[in-house]
Each structure stands twice: as C-alpha cells, then as structure tokens.
Amino acid sequence: MAVINQEWQIDFAGVLMGPGTPYPVSNITGLGTPEVRAQDVELPTDDGSFPGVDYYSPRTVTIEAGIRTPGDPHAAVDALAALDQAAADPATRKRAGAVQTLRLWWPGRTNPKRLYGRVRRVEAVSMAQAIYGWIPITLDFTATTPEWHDDTEQQTTLPLARDFDEEGFTAPVTAPITTGVANPQERPGWVTNFGDLAAWPSLTISGPVVNPRIWITETGRVLDLALALGESDILQIDTRPGTRWVLHNGGNAAYALSAASRLDLFQIPPRRTSEIRWTGADYTNSSRLKVSWRDAYTAL
C-alpha cells in the first residue's frame, strides 16, 4: 500500500500517482453512480412496466494519466512496469475472492477513501515519446462493490458481557441499582459509523468460549454459533459482500450459525453510534471479541 500524503494523490493497487510522483493525472471517470441493473418487468396487458428492485453493477474507475520522467526513458519504462506488475500480481489475480484497493484523497476531504476490486487495464496509449520520458496511459479499476470506504479501519476489543436481561439480579436488591458503569457511554462495545451507508464489520473471537452470541442492540441482528473454542482457537467472521465467511482456525464453520444468523444483514447502522455486545460460556474470563470496520459512503 502506497503512502498518500496530499490531496489529489491516488494509490492504484500499490502504485502512488498524482502530485509529487512520475504519474501526472489528467482525468478520472467512474466516480458517480454505477450502472443500474434494473429488475423492471413489462406489464403483459398494459403499457409500461412494473419497477422492480434496482441493483448497482460493479463500478469501473478509469484514470487518464501519463508517465513523465523528462530525459530518462529508462525510468519511464520502469514506471510502466510497476503498473503492469500491480495488474499481474498473482496473489490477487490467481486467487478467487482476492481484491486490490484503489485509494483517492479528494480535495476537501480529511483523509483518503478506498474501493475494493481488481485492476482490469493498464494500457500504454502510445510509446512514440517514450524516448523522451513521456508515456500516456489509461488505467481501469473495477470495484466489486460500489460503496466507498474510509481509509482508516476502526477497531474495538470486547470482553464477554453479562446479559442482565437473561440473568437478572440476585436478591436482596438495594438502591441504587447499577451495572458497575457510571456512564453508559464508557461501556465497551460502542461503535460509531460516520458514513451515510451501513458498514460491514469483521469479527474475530479468541477462545476459550462456548456458544458465542453476538448482537447489535440497535438493530437486533444476531449471530449465534453452536461452537466450542479452545484456549488457542480463533473464530473469524467476515460480513462483507463477496467475502462472507465463518472460519474456525482457518476451516469453514458456517454450519455452526443458527437459522436466525444472517451475515448479509449484520451491519453497523450509518450516521450513529451503536452498541455491539456478546455472550458465551468462559470461566477464565480471557476470551475476547475484536470488531473491525470502515465507515461506508455513497460517494467519494
């Protein structure tokens, strides 16, 4: 991943472009609304159609740029080779589900945003001026999901919660009744998505714990797993479209999810602070849940 340190710069699958680099950028397209896959149905006995659900197609960002290394044709060809190598990266190209990143720092924004997808084209438009250190290029990056993500990944680590709704309180009860936290906002589990779209969290549980249960209080969405994790076991849950999985020590554990557990609906609500909690059986009090997410946005 390239280090972006100023506005207008672009990280194209690990290659830094824009101001201060050998890659001046002249134009970028594909930043608006992606193409819509309309599910409209024509009315069989009348004019027009019935509007169905609209889905977005993959977003393709096209970058018109150049390679400029005045008087140094060797450096120009090396710069073109760096782009070719990014496109040909076998760790991504030959592995199903693997993605690359396109990161842009747009003027007026406080930090870069990113898309996940694949490099689809690196084209040297003309080599006529390469001897002088100039090669015009066209680049295509196809994002598998249309939303933009904040460049900063947020994380929080949670111990097991005491579920007072299920356990209740032990008599005799004396006033004042507290949960041990004076300010509710200081409890672990508060996550904030500043974006205007719901964010997809990644979850990691380190054992030991039996039958973990994770839920988002504001939405009621829950992930129940009939599973026992040993002291050195790791459970990974990814809810992102195209990469949804449940892995127990690297092996598939989706079978452990209950019927009510929907990875495709387990999202952090937009423009608010929500609470994530989890329970399970752990008599060592050492198991932990790590929640990672990036704020999600409709536009750059």
Residues 126-148: tens digit of each pLDDT: 998 999 999 999 999 999 988 99
Predicted confidence at residue 1, as pLDDT, reads 81
Predicted confidence at residue 162, as pLDDT, reads 59
Place of tokens 């509710």: 184
Nearest in space to 9 (alpha carbons), one of 83, 111, 80, 79: 111
Whether the per-residue pLDDT at 169 is higher than 90: the answer is no
Whether the per-residue pLDDT at 238 is higher than 60: the answer is yes
Question: pLDDT-based confidence at 79, cuts 50/70/90?
Answer: very high
- 102 Cβ contact list (under 8 Å, min separation 6): 10, 11, 12, 13, 61, 114, 115, 117, 141, 143
- Report the DSSP beta bridge partners of residue 27: 64
Report, as an integer, the average pLDDT of 243-253. 88
Predicted confidence at residue 188, as pLDDT, reads 63
Predicted confidence at residue 242, as pLDDT, reads 78
Report, as an integer, the average pLDDT of 31-52. 91
Report, as an integer, the average pLDDT of 28-42. 92
Predicted confidence at residue 173, as pLDDT, reads 46
The distance from CA 236 to its chain's CA centroid, rounded to whole angstroms, is 15
Give the type of residue at 95.
R
Whether the per-residue pLDDT at 214 is higher than 60: the answer is yes
User: How many Å is the maximal CA-CA distance in the chain?
Assistant: 88
SS3 206: strand
Report, as an integer, the average pLDDT of 70-83. 94
Task: Compute how many other C-beta atoms are within 10 angstroms of the C-beta atom of residue 97.
Answer: 9
Whether the per-residue pLDDT at 182 is higher than 60: the answer is no
Predicted confidence at residue 166, as pLDDT, reads 44
Whether the per-residue pLDDT at 120 is higher than 70: the answer is yes
SS3 151: coil
Question: pLDDT-based confidence at 186, cuts 50/70/90?
Answer: very low
Reading the block at residue 203, the tokens are 């979850």
pTM value is 0.83
Nearest in space to 87 (alpha carbons), one of 59, 134, 123: 123
Tell me which of 140-144, 165-169, 213-217, 238-242 is least confident: 165-169
Predicted confidence at residue 187, as pLDDT, reads 53
Predicted confidence at residue 216, as pLDDT, reads 93
Q: What is the mean pLDDT of the chain?
A: 88
Q: How far apart are CA 197 and CA 113, in angstroms?
A: 14
Place of tokens 């009860």: 173
Q: How far apart are CA 124 and CA 134, in angstroms?
A: 10
Nearest in space to 37 (alpha carbons), one of 59, 57, 51: 57
Q: How far apart are CA 212 and CA 228, in angstroms?
A: 8
Predicted confidence at residue 300, as pLDDT, reads 85
Whether the per-residue pLDDT at 96 is higher than 50: the answer is yes
- Report the DSSP beta bridge partners of residue 123: 138
